Amino acid sequence: MSAATSNSPLRVAIIDDYQGVALSSADWSTLKDRVSIDVFRDTLLDEDALVQRLQKYEVVCAMRERTKFFRSLLDKLPNLRLIATTGMRNLGIDTEYAKEKGIVVSGTGAGGNATLEHIWALILATVRYIPLEDANVKSGNSQWQSTMPLGLTGRTLGLVGLGRLGIATAKIAKAFNMRVTAWSPHLTAERAENAGAEFVSTKEQLFKESDVVSLQLVLSETTRHIITKDDLSLMKPTAFFINTSRGPLVDEAALLEILEEERIAGAGLDVFDIEPLPIDHPIRKAKRVTLSPHAGYLSDTNYAVSTL
């Protein structure tokens, strides 16, 4: 299929727009005579189906890392000239190969602290059992209170990763008078101290001592499944596990087993191995789990500066 001629509008696909808000998040009127826009709210995991959908478009607006633009897909989209993505970094796009093929990859800045806000929303909702108690109240459960929230004052927050988000997370923990410890494969005692956290030399120590473990790592080949069943087994039975980074950082099957056996108090998860999470996935029915649909990046302010 040939590309659009100079007299015809550019064909633009907005993909993975789950909430159907991309067109209302910014003023697209200046482009109305130059582009033809189609919006797709679902995510296609089958590459052949994805090629069939996208092969006619010159521009794709990608929402974060929902659809992966790796080498095999890029080779099958000969008309593609521009990928616009929310955020300045998208590990779901092979930017180097795109450059080789003459495809421009463009990112946008963030308009707030949505991810940091979501980290703490998920921590607090999880340790205070808010979703469970909300469901009990709404369902007319005769048991007025059924859980005992974890008080954060004096408790230990263990951060796996201490980059920009980890440092910001630690600052808020201090407002709750928490002890903050940190570990990552390349973290040093000096960097931890400068960030206001205590350095622990081993991952095992962090998991043993923490009342809340929160992941703040970037996913790579070296960090995939960095959190193992052995790590999770070291946690206190009263402790909580939080992941707002990436699903494959954790052995998901092991985490599900730990939760089913009630060996920890609970988990708050925003990310998963497969997204969107399959309807029949067992983690949807797991006990002691607070789930959100990879919403850490989402906010009206972020979307307002993340469209063309």
As given in the structure block, the two tokens for residue 278 are 């399959």
Report the Cα 71 to chain-centroid distance in Å. 23
- Catalytic site residue from 11, 64, 155, 294: 294
As given in the structure block, the two tokens for residue 45 are 């995991």
Long-range contacts of 204-207 (CB under 8 A, 24+ apart): 204/231, 204/234, 206/158, 206/160, 206/181, 206/182, 207/158, 207/231, 207/232, 207/234, 207/235
Please state, in angstroms and rounded to a whole number, the distance separating the CA atoms of residues 27 and 8: 21
* Count of beta carbons in the 10 Å neighbourhood of residue 124: 16
Known active-site residue 186: no
Known active-site residue 275: yes
- Catalytic site residue from 133, 198, 257, 275: 275
Known active-site residue 96: no
The number of C-alpha atoms within 13 Å of 223 and in the hemisphere containing its C-beta is 18
Range list of H helices, the chain: 47-54, 71-74, 95-100, 114-127, 130-139, 164-175, 189-194, 203-209, 229-233, 252-260, 300-304
- Catalytic site residue from 11, 118, 155, 246: 246
Active site positions, annotated: 246, 275, 294
